[in-house]
Amino acid sequence: MLLNADLHCHSRVSDGTLSPDELAQRASRNGVELWALTDHDEIGGQAAAREAARALGMPYLTGVEISVSFAGQTVHIVGLGFDETHPGLVEGLAHTRAGRERRARQISDDLARSGIKGAYEGALNYVGNPDLISRTHFARYIVETGACRDTSEVFRRFLTEGKPGYVPHEWAQLGEAVAWITGAGGLAVVAHPGRYKFTPNEEYALFTEFKGHGGAGVEVVTGSHAITEYERYAQVAEEFGLLSSRGSDFHAPGESRVDLGGLPYLPGRLKPVWEALADRISWPASAPA
Ligand code: AMP
Ligand code: MN
Ligand code: MN
Ligand code: MN
């Protein structure tokens, strides 16, 4: 069945600019039929997102996007449909967030050596949740200084491997993040696999190990993929026997290329991840007014 599901986006609780409530309204306005808020390493926005979705008559799944380290790169694992009070998940995410503060100071020191002063304080002005300072907040500050025109130029010139402001960071292990999600009753999904710079062997290892740890799905249609990557990862889903997911990865009006609910449908031959999560969906009490 074709469903306008959007199971990947960010609020001010991580590196988006809208509140969970504003996002819910935008999703509903754009025709989203099943929604999940997936803030980075943080589930503090879940209750607000679910309540807002309920008030708008929009079915909701709990969501998160966890940063992990794999083969020397950062990989993002989306968790869907979990119990957000599960201690293993709550503690794992708290541990993941704790490393961000020290990393942010190191990013700031490194940027200062390249002539961008006051970046820690500058980035903090864009932070909605002091526990969750991300490179996106630094990127918005660097645009404010006039050094770059937009955040994509920032990521080309700063904050990425080999560029000023890049600080290597050890996140959780792949198996840990999958265990936090599945232990809390949810399903784990590899986010935007087309974004990583893995060799074919490393990518094969990622999906093989992910499956071995109990991972369930892969994002096929995402705002972080080029159109040619939809078919490529549709084939990966079939090859590895993974469920498929779909999400805009919306962060901010004017900044994100794809809006909430604005993607093509999943290819009809794939098994959507939401069909395996039917009993985890929060349904609104009644149809919207
Ligand atoms: P962090 O979790 O602090 O490493 O920040 C990662 C976030 O930076 C991602 O979730 C994106 O929101 C943003 N980001 C990373 N690379 C890019 C890019 N090339 N263009 C725009 N945003 C990016
Ligand atoms: Mn982000
Ligand atoms: Mn991501
Ligand atoms: Mn994301």
289 pLDDT more than 90:
no
- Tell me which residue has its CA closest to atom 3 in ligand 1: 134
Backbone angles phi, psi at 176, to 5 degrees: -65, -50
Per-residue pLDDT of 95-108, as tens digits, reads: 999 999 999 999 99
Distance (Å) from CA 76 to ligand 1 centroid: 11
The tally of CA atoms less than 13 A away on the side-chain side of residue 211 is 14
Give residue 287's pLDDT band: very low, low, confident or very high (50, 70, 90). low
Distance (Å) from CA 9 to ligand 4 centroid: 6
User: Which residues surround the ion ligand 4 when the cut-off is CB under 5 Å?
Assistant: 65, 249
Distance (Å) from CA 227 to ligand 3 centroid: 17
Q: What is the atom index within ligand 1 of the atom nearest the CA of 100?
A: 3
Distance separating alpha carbons of residues 110 and 117, to the nearest angstrom: 10
Model pLDDT, residue 285: 80
Per-residue pLDDT of 204-230, as tens digits, reads: 999 999 999 999 999 999 999 999 999
Tokens representing 113? 């050596």
- Tell me which residue has its CA closest to atom 11 in ligand 1: 136
Model pLDDT, residue 200: 98
Q: Is the CB of 12 under 6 A from ligand 1?
A: no
Residues 123-142 as b/e (b if ≥16 CB within 10 A, e otherwise) read bbebbbbebbbbbbbbbbbb
Whether pTM exceeds 0.95: yes
Ligand with an atom nearest the CA of residue 99: 1
Per-residue pLDDT of 105-140, as tens digits, reads: 999 999 999 999 999 999 999 999 999 999 999 999
Q: What angle do CA 24, 29, 31 make, to 5 degrees?
A: 100
Give the SS3 label for residue 285: coil
Ligand with an atom nearest the CA of residue 137: 1
Domains of the chain: 5-96+171-280 (3.20.20.140), 100-157 (1.10.150.650)
